[in-house]
C-alpha cells in the first residue's frame, strides 16, 4: 500500500511517500512545495493544491495522512495553517483517497515510541526506518513520519480521520 504523508504549511508543505510491503516500509519519494511569502494567501493555497495534485497523479498513493494541528502560538497562524490543511485534504479527497489525520503526539509515538520525542529523534528514526542515506529536509521528514504513523495505525486498525472508510 502506497501512503502519502503531508506536513501542511502555508510557506512550506512537506510531502513524503512510502510503500508498505508486508512488514517493510520503503521510501518512494519526498519533497516540499514552497510558496512565495509575499504572495496573497489564495495564490499560496493554489500552489499547494496544484503541487499536491501533481504528486498524487505521479505516484498514485492508496491513501493520504495529514498532520492534525491542535496548538498554535497565535490565532492568525492557526487559521492560515488550517487553510493549508484544508487544501491538502481537498487534494486527497478530490483524488478519491481516504484521508486520515494524526496529531504530532500520535506521529511521534508511532515513529519513536515516545509521544514527546524531540524533532531530531523523529528525523533520525525516519531515516533509519526508511533506510535513507541522510535525514530528509525538515518538512519532508515530518511528512514521512506522518506516512509511517499511518502505516502503523492502518496495520493495527487504529486510524483516525475524516470518517471515510479505509
Whether 161 is covered by a domain: the verdict is no
In the prediction, which pLDDT does 163 show? 38
- Asked whether residue 44 is domain-assigned, the answer is yes
**pLDDT at residue 158 above 60?**
no
SS3 category, 132 = coil
In a domain, 162, yes or no: no
- Of 29, 38, 50, 67, the active-site residue reads 67
Active site residue 139: yes
SS3 112: coil
Q: What are phi and psi of 136, to 5 degrees?
A: -70, 165
Q: How many domains does the chain have?
A: 1
Report yes or no on 160 lying in a domain. Answer: no
What's the whole-number mean pLDDT along residues 20-35? 96
Helix (H) or strand (E) holding 150: helix 138-155
Confidence of residue 155 (pLDDT cuts 50, 70, 90): low
Average pLDDT over residues 28-46: 97
Q: Is residue 27 part of a domain?
A: yes
| Distance, CA of 48 to CA of 83 (rounded, Å) | 10
Please confirm, yes or no, whether 142 is among the known catalytic residues. Answer: no
Residue 79 confidence (pLDDT): 87
User: Under a CB-based contact definition with an 8 Å cutoff, are residues 1 and 19 in contact?
Assistant: yes
- 164 vs 59: CA distance, rounded Å: 21
pTM equals 0.91
With bands split at pLDDT 50, 70 and 90, how would you rate the model's confidence at 17?
Answer: very high
Q: Which of 50, 58, 134, 139 is catalytic?
A: 139
Give residue 107's domain range.
Answer: 2-155
What CATH number does the domain containing 7 carry?
3.30.420.10
Looking at the domain assignment, is residue 139 inside a domain? yes
Residue in 7, 101, 106, 142 annotated catalytic: 7
Task: Quote the pLDDT of residue 71.
Answer: 62
Residue 165 has pLDDT above 80, yes or no: no
For the stretch 75-89, pLDDT in tens is 888 888 899 999 999
Give catalytic status of residue 67 as yes or no: yes
In a domain, 56, yes or no: yes
pLDDT band per the 50, 70, 90 thresholds, residue 111 = very high
- Using pLDDT thresholds of 50, 70 and 90, give the confidence band for residue 145: very high
The predicted structure's pLDDT at residue 78: 83
| Domain assignment of residue 163, yes or no | no
Confidence of residue 127 (pLDDT cuts 50, 70, 90): very high
C-alpha–C-alpha distance, residues 20 and 63, integer Å: 11
Residues 6+ apart with CB under 8 A from 133: none
Amino acid at each position: 500500500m502506497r501512503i502519502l504523508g503531508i506536513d501542511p504549511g502555508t510557506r512550506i508543505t512537506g510531502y513524503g511517500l512510502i510503500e508498505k510491503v508486508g512488514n517493510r516500509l520503503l521510501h518512494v519519494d519526498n519533497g516540499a512545495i514552497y510558496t512565495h511569502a509575499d504572495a496573497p494567501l489564495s495564490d499560496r493555497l493554489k500552489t499547494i493544491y496544484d503541487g499536491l495534485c501533481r504528486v498524487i497523479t505521479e505516484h498514485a498513493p492508496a491513501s493520504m495522512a495529514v498532520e492534525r494541528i491542535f496548538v498554535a502560538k497565535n490565532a492568525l497562524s492557526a487559521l492560515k495553517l488550517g487553510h493549508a490543511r484544508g487544501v491538502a485534504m481537498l487534494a486527497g479527497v478530490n483524488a478519491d483517497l481516504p484521508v486520515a489525520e494524526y496529531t504530532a503526539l500520535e506521529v511521534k509515538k508511532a515513529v519513536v515510541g515516545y509521544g514527546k520525542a524531540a524533532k531530531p529523534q523523529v528525523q533520525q528514526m525516519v531515516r533509519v526506518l526508511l533506510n535513507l542515506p541522510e535525514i530528509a529536509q525538515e518538512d519532508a521528514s515530518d511528512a514521512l513520519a506522518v506516512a509511517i504513523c499511518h502505516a502503523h495505525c492502518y496495520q493495527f486498525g487504529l486510524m483516525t480521520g475524516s470518517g471515510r472508510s479505509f
